Amino acid sequence: IKLWENASGSPWRQHVKQMEYEILCVSQFTLYGTLSKKNQPDYKLAMKSEKAEEMYKLFLDMLKEAYVEERIKDGAFGKMMDVSLVNDGPVTLVIDSREEGRGSGG
């Protein structure tokens, strides 16, 4: 996904590999939830922890294979983590792999 401007200042021209940035992955599989009839979080539809951790590690391995392993960072799966960041720009992207016909080549 081309999110950064190029050397000429044209927006949406460079991707993370071109910029040689690091990637921080924060697992949130266990945060998938819905609201119950009592307006309380319900996590029954969330993936079970063991399977989610297996999938997360597979995802990290895929990133490391496709990029520079030392530039892929992650936290501790299933642990409480305080993560801070600085949003860069007025844009938020939601990437949903379930949407067919979108993305590269689709």
| Integer CA distances (angstroms), 23 to 10, 17, 98, in order | 23, 10, 22
- Catalytic positions: 30
The strand pairing partners of 25, in sequence order, are 74
Going by C-alpha positions, the residue among 51, 53, 52, 34 that lies closest to residue 43 is: 34
62: three-class secondary structure by DSSP: helix
